[in-house]
């Protein structure tokens, strides 16, 4: 994700008082894990992200903030809750398509013909969390998917009983 951000002219800085104070009061954003500030140039800006996050969580947050800057021109910090909710949903959906493209999900389907592929395998393959992988598969199937299995040459989805 850092390479993609760099390619699109997006700067990544730590969410630290030293870097943030020039744009916003640090106390108002210190509880956040990340946020982005768009620049005057379209589809560019700065992403501020906490430094002590795990690799996968950082990747997911960077993808979502990248999608905010790429798709939305407004700062998330200065809009109402209703609009913010809509922008968050759009950015999460776009980041799911970015991190788990359909053409690579097809290779998961192909692997499932040989042996069952569970959600943890899919998450490991794409280096995302299981929750994120399930969210992406829900965008495809409109329901929760826990695994792919093959039976007599037919591929199907599987959902665990809760």
Q: How far apart are CA 118 and CA 101, in angstroms?
A: 18
Q: Render pLDDT for 11-38 as a digit per residue (tens, 0 to 9).
A: 999 998 888 877 788 888 888 999 998 8
Q: At what angle do helices 81-99 and 130-141 cross, to 10 degrees?
A: 90
Q: What is the pLDDT of residues 41-62, one digit of tens each?
A: 888 999 999 999 999 999 999 9
Record the pTM.
0.89
Cβ(36)–Cβ(65) below 8 Å: yes
Domain that residue 135 falls in: 102-158
Domain co-membership, 108 together with 150: yes
Same structural domain, 75 and 7 = yes
pLDDT tens digits for 63-106?
A: 999 999 998 877 777 788 888 889 999 999 999 999 999 999 99
Same domain, 92 and 12: yes
Q: Does one domain contain both 94 and 134?
A: no
Structurally, the chain folds into a number of domains equal to 2
Q: Name the average pLDDT for the chain.
A: 91
Residues 121-143: pLDDT tens digits? 999 999 999 999 999 999 999 99
Judgement on whether residues 28 and 91 belong to the same structural domain of the protein? yes
Q: How many CB atoms lie within 10 A of CB 43?
A: 15
Q: Domain end: 99, 120, 144, which one?
A: 99
Instruction: Give the alpha-carbon dihedral of 97, 45, 43, 52, to 10 degrees.
Output: 0
Q: Do the beta carbons of residue 157 and residue 147 sit within 8 Å?
A: yes
Shared-domain flag, residues 21 and 34: yes
């Amino acid at each position: 994700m850092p390479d993609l951000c760099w390619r699109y002219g997006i700067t990544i800085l730590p969410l630290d008082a030293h870097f943030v104070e020039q744009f916003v009061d640090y106390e108002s954003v210190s509880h956040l894990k990340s946020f982005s500030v768009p620049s005057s140039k379209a589809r560019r800006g700065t992403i501020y992200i906490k430094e002590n996050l795990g690799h996968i969580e950082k990747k997911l947050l960077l993808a979502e903030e990248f999608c905010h800057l790429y798709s939305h021109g407004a700062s998330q910090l200065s809009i109402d809750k209703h609009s913010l909710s809509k922008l968050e949903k759009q950015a999460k959906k776009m980041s799911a398509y970015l991190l788990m493209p359909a053409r690579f999900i097809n290779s998961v389907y192909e692997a499932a013909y040989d042996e069952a592929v569970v959600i943890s395998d899919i998450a490991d393959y794409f280096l995302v969390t299981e929750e994120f992988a399930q969210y992406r598969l829900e965008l495809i199937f409109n329901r929760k998917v826990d695994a792919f299995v093959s039976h007599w040459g037919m591929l199907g989805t599987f959902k665990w009983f809760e």
